Amino acid sequence: MLKQKIKELFANDCSGHDYWHSIRVLNIAEKISKTEKCNNYIVMIAALLHDTDDIKIFETKDYKNARCIMSECHLTEDTIENVIEIIKEISFKGTETTSPKSVEGKIVQDADRLDAMGAIGIARAFAYGGSHNRAIHIPDCQPNINKDETEYRNNEGTTINHFYEKLLLIKDMMNTGCAKVIANRRDGYMREFLKEFYDEWNEQ
């Protein structure tokens, strides 16, 4: 029932924030949660709902989408507040970073960040870039790694720059040991991709 509601909410998204992003975050959060002492139930709900009030997609106030879905599913007030707290804490704002207080929040944050890495992360970055009219690559356009939140959101830069501004920095931000291992592998794959990208770009 919760999954069905998420599916309906994200039905029209082509910017890398579709239903399947939520499902992947759910699956990887579940995997991480098996290696940590935590409340698995809260992890699963927070993972599924973590983007339901994302400011890039929705214009909701006070996490209205997440609150509505959870009350329609008859979750307790306690659970709802617990999950909202996690959703509040995990959104990545520019290059600044905060780690959630709860272990459940840390797990969902890791899972969300992992989905921005590796082959899927590459696919999502170009999907997002395309949907925001960003160029793939402009050789003399330098990355800006010290953006504040507004600059991060309004960035006119290229998708290749996004790798230096965010994607290659995520590996060192993981909270859990399990996520660190996965992040290392995915980071290596992105670096290989960039190397091949430049080799092809300069091929003559």
Residues of the shown chain interacting with Ni ion in the complex, contacts defined by CB under 5 A: 51, 112
- From ligand ADP, Ni ion, none, interface partner of 16 (C-beta below 5 to 8 A by class): ligand ADP
For residue 29, give the nearest of 113, 155, 87, 93 by alpha carbon.
113
* Minimum separation from the CB atom of position 150 to Ni ion (A): 20
Cβ-based neighbours of 200, under 8 Å, separated by 6 or more: none
In the region spanning residues 138 to 177, those forming contacts with ligand ADP, defined by CB under 6 A, are 155, 159, 162, 167
For ligand ADP, the binding residues in 17-76 under the rule CB under 6 A are 51, 54, 56
Size of the site for ligand ADP (CB under 6 A): 17
CB of 117 to ligand ADP, least distance (A): 9
Residue 165: what residue type?
E
Q: Which does 116 bind (CB under 5 to 8 A by kind): Ni ion, ligand ADP, none?
A: ligand ADP
Enumerate residues 66-125 that contact ligand ADP by CB under 6 A: 92, 112, 116, 121, 124-125
- Applying CB under 6 A, among 9, 10, 16, 176 the residue interacting with ligand ADP is 16
Report the nearest approach of ligand ADP to the CB of residue 204 (Å): 28
- Nearer to ligand ADP by Cβ, of 87 and 178: the residue is 87
Question: Which residues make up the interface to ligand ADP (CB under 6 A)?
Answer: 16, 51, 54, 56, 92, 112, 116, 121, 124-125, 128-129, 134, 155, 159, 162, 167
